[in-house]
Structure 1
C-alpha cells in the first residue's frame, strides 16, 4: 500500500514540476518581452521608468529560478532524492513569501506607481518631436496607444499644450494619432495642421477629448479578474507542490525503513 502511495505521489509531483518548469519559462519570457517590446504602452514606460526595468529583471530572475526549481523537483521526484526535495520545498516557500510581499508592496505603493506613470507620459508628451530619431520607437508606441485606445494625452488633450513644437506653432497643429474624424489621416504619427493659420485652442482641435489615463485604468479594471485569477492559480500550484514534496519525503522515509530486514 505504501509503495503504491509513493508511486502516485511521485507521478503527481513530477507532473506538477513539469508544469512549474513551463510556468517559469512563461514568466521569464514575459520579463524579456517587457524589455524588448517596442509597439505597446509597455515600451513607453520601460524606456523612461527605472522601476519597470527593475521589475522586468526581477521577472526574468524569478522565471529562471522557477525553471530551475521545476527541474530539481522533477529530478528529486523521479530519483527520490530527499536532499533535492528539501531544497525544492525551501525555495518554493521563499518564492511564495516573496510573491506575497511583492503583492502587498504594489498594493500599498499603487498611488506612487500611478504618479510615476503620469510623470513619464507627460514628459514624453512635452518632449515629443517627430524629427528626433533617437526617441522614434517610444514616440511611435505612444502614438499607437492614442490611436488604439481612441484617447489623447494622459489626462486629456490639454497635456499637449506643454509641447514646445505645438506652442511655437501657436497650437495650429495637433498630434495626428489623436485625430477623431471618420476619415483616416494619411499618417498616424507626428503633427497634423489645422485648417487655419490663426492661433487656436485645444477645443478647436479635431481630436479625442478623453485622456488615455482613464482608458488604461478601464483596461486594468476589465482584466483585474484575470490578473487576480492567475496570481491565485500560481499560489495554489506552489502550495500544492509543497504538499506533494513533503508527502513524498515522508513516504520515502517510511519506504527506507520498511526495507530494513527484521
Structure 2
C-alpha cells in the first residue's frame, strides 16, 4: 500500500492491526517473563537468606548445648565425688555443694535455652525467638555479674584457701581425726603431683605435732614410695618449694585461657542475640510481604 504524498519512487508501509497486536503481545509477554524471573530470584534470595540464618543460629545453639552438657556433667561429678580437692577445702561441705548445684543449674538452664532456641528457629515461631533473645541477654548479664564477683572475691578466696591448707597441715596424721583422712590423701596427691611441700615451703610442717620427731615430713614431700603419713628423709631428698607458688603459677598460666573462654562465650551470646533479632525481622517482613 503506497502513500500518494511520498516522493517519486518511494512508498511508506503502514503496519496493519494484526502486526501491531502481535508486537504488543510479545512486549507484554517479555515484561511478564522478566517480572516472573525477578519474583523468582527474590523468592530464592529470601529462601537462601532464611537458610543461612538457620544454619548459623543452629551452629551457635549447638555450641551452647555442648557447654550446658559439660557444666552439668562437671557439676554432677564433683557433687557425687566426695574425694576431691574442692570438697576437702570446705569444712562442712556447704559451699562446694552450693557451687556444684549452681553449675548443674546453669547447665540445665542452658539446655532449656537451647531447646527453646531450636524450636523457635526450626519452626520460625516469633514469640519463642523473642523469648530466646531475652534469655540470651539475661545469660550475658549473669555471666558479667558472676565474673565481676569472682574477681572481687579473689583475695578473700585465696585467704580462705590459705587458712584451710594450714589447718589440714596441723591436723595431718592425727589419730583424733580419722574422718579427715580423705583430705590428707588429697593433700598428698597435690604435693606429689606438683612436687611441693607445705603451703609456703617445707618448714610449714614444723607446725604439725603428730610426727614422731620434728625432722619428719610427709612421704608425699619426698621421692619415697612408702604408704605412710611421715617419712625420715634427708633434706636433699625433700621438695623444698611450697605448693602455694606452684598453684599460683598454674593459676596465672591458665588465667588467660579462662578469660579467653569467658570472652568467647560473651561474644557468641551477643552474636546469637543479633542473629536472632535479625531472623525475627526477616520472618516478620516475609509474613507482611505474603499478605
Aligned match for 1:186, one of 203, 226, 229 = 226
| Corresponding residue for residue 259 of structure 2 | 228
Q: Give 1:199's aligned residue.
A: none
**Across the two proteins, how many residue pairs are aligned to each other?**
246
Shift of 1:42: 3.3
CA distances 1:78-123 after superposition (whole Å, capped 9, x unpaired): 0011121111111111111111111111112211111011111111
Shift of 1:214: 0.4
Native 8 Å contact 1:130 1:190 kept in 2: no
- Measure the CA separation in 2 of the matches of 1:117 and 1:190: 22
Q: What does residue 75 of structure 1 align with? A: 119
Distance (whole Å) between structure 1 residues aligned to residue 245 and residue 85 of structure 2 = 14
CA distance in 2, matches of 1:83, 1:45: 46
Name the CA distance, whole Å, in 2 between partners of 1:2 and 1:108. Answer: 48
2:274 corresponds in structure 1 to 243
Give unmatched runs, 5+ long, in structure 1. Answer: 196-203
- Pick the structure with greater CA Rg: 2
Per-residue CA distance 1:187-229 (angstroms, 9 max, x = gap): 2x5122468xxxxxxxx69522111000000001111222112
Name the residue aligned to 1:34.
78
8 Å Cα contact 2:117/2:129 also seen in 1: yes
User: Cα RMSD (Å) of the superposition?
Assistant: 2.3
Shift of 1:33: 3.2
Contact 2:87 2:96 in 1 (8 A): no
Q: Distance in 2 between matches of 1:85 and 1:96?
A: 17
Matched residues in 2 for 1:47 and 1:21: separation?
34
CA contact (8 A) 2:87 2:93 kept: no
Q: What residue number does 2:109 align with?
A: 65
Aligned to 1:176: 219
User: 1:92 & 1:22 partners in 2: Cα distance?
Assistant: 16
Question: Are the counterparts in 2 of residues 69 and 88 from structure 1 also a CA contact under 8 Å?
Answer: yes
Counterpart of 1:210 in 2: which secondary structure?
coil
Q: Secondary structure at the match of 2:217?
A: strand
Query: 1:219 aligned to 240, 250, 263, which one?
Result: 250
Structure 1 residue 11 displacement after superposition: 2.1
State the match for 1:157 in structure 2: 202
Asked if 1 retains the 8 angstrom alpha-carbon contact of 2:219 and 2:225, the reply is: yes
Alpha carbons 1:34, 1:56 under 8 Å: kept: yes
- What's the offset of the Cα at 1:72? 1.0
Greater RCO (CA < 8 Å, at least 6 residues apart): 1
SS in 2 for 1:164: coil
Give the TM-score of the pair, scaled to structure 2.
Answer: 0.77
SS of the counterpart of 2:89? Answer: helix
Is the Cα contact below 8 Å between 1:173 and 1:193 reproduced in 2?
yes
SS at match of 1:165: coil
Q: Which residue in 2 is equivalent to 1:137?
A: 182
How many angstroms does 1:48 deviate by? 5.8
Tell me whether 87-96 or 46-55 shows the greater mean CA deviation.
46-55
Normalization by structure 1: what TM-score? Answer: 0.85
Distance (Å, rounded) in 2 between the aligned partners of 1:47 and 1:227: 27
Secondary structure at the residue paired with 1:155? coil
| Correspondences of 1:187-202 after superposition (within 5 Å) | 187=227, 189-193=228-232
Which portions of structure 1, spanning 4 or more consecutive aligned residues, are displaced by more than 4 angstroms? 37-40, 46-50, 130-133
